[in-house]
Amino acid sequence: MEILKEALLRTIKDIDLTFTEEALRNNLPSGSTAVIALLVDGQILVANVGDSKALLCSEKIDSHQDAKGTLMAYLSAKELTRDHNANREEERARIEAAGGFIFEWDVPLVNGHFPMTRAIGDVPLKKYGIIPVPELTDWQPLTANDSYLVVASDGIFESLSPQNVCDLLSDAHLHRNRRLKLPSSCSSLADCIVRTAFERGSTDNLSVVVVPMGTADFSQEPSEKGIM
């Protein structure tokens, strides 16, 4: 497990190095977030750089009963990542120590225009404390109640909360939660999430991977969808 963790850290470092070399060669200021999930022997390890997210949707039993007295099940969101932004004191301190400044707008912005404190690439901001170093969880066991793993870009969460995402999966697959109305013609679970985020006003990159697990239907392949 430790070898896998070290390999993951080295891989992200290599990705940033390759990305940075290409950016310098072509004078590109671009960058990217990153979220990686490793599933090994019933355990999960997650690494993230930036403000994209990974979460588990786990089946829980509601204390309320339906009209027939049956206890209701629902999917509860468990976030596996923490966003890297200047709301976190240790992140802000690193930026300011490197000579950057934080401008408070709807969200705190590094040097007045950048919402993240960690990223792949974004070469012009590296001198101001933007780093590509991922934050890793510890290996943690999965349970039979963990129904879906969701890995998604930050645009999804402009208009949907992690719990909204799990509600959508519940509506689409388990048919036990009716709080959100699904858009028509979803081609996959990931497509349902992307379409709903877009229709609710998200304007950033919309990318998501949904992996059925635990009590979900294992005949389903993992689904992914993206809109740039």
Q: Decide if pLDDT at 185 tops 70.
A: no
In a domain, 89, yes or no: no
pLDDT, average across residues 129-140: 95
User: What pLDDT, in 10s, does the model give residues 7-60?
Assistant: 999 999 999 999 999 999 999 988 999 999 999 999 999 999 999 999 999 998
In a domain, 154, yes or no: yes
In a domain, 153, yes or no: yes
Domain CATH code at residue 177: 3.60.40.10
Of the pLDDT bands very low, low, confident and very high (cuts 50, 70, 90), residue 178 is very low
In a domain, 76, yes or no: yes
In a domain, 168, yes or no: yes
User: What is the Cα–Cα distance from 55 to 74, expressed in whole angstroms?
Assistant: 15
Q: Identify whether the C-beta of residue 40 lies closer than 8 Å to the C-beta of residue 128.
A: no
Considering the chain, what percentage of its residues have pLDDT values greater than 70?
Answer: 84
Residue 211 lies in domain: 50-81+142-228
pLDDT at 179: 47
pLDDT, average across residues 133-149: 94
User: What pLDDT, in 10s, does the model give residues 89-111?
Assistant: 999 999 999 999 999 888 899 99
Q: What angle (nearest 5°) sits at the alpha carbon of residue 18, between those of residues 16 and 22?
A: 115
pLDDT at 15: 96
Number of domains, the chain: 1
Q: Identify whether the C-beta of residue 121 lies closer than 8 Å to the C-beta of residue 32.
A: yes
Q: Evaluate the CA torsion angle 181, 185, 186, 188 in order and state its sign.
A: positive
pLDDT, average across residues 188-201: 92
In a domain, 217, yes or no: yes
Cα distances (Å, whole numbers) of residue 3 to 6, 9, 10: 5, 10, 11
What integer best gives the mean pLDDT of the chain?
87
In a domain, 34, yes or no: no
In a domain, 162, yes or no: yes
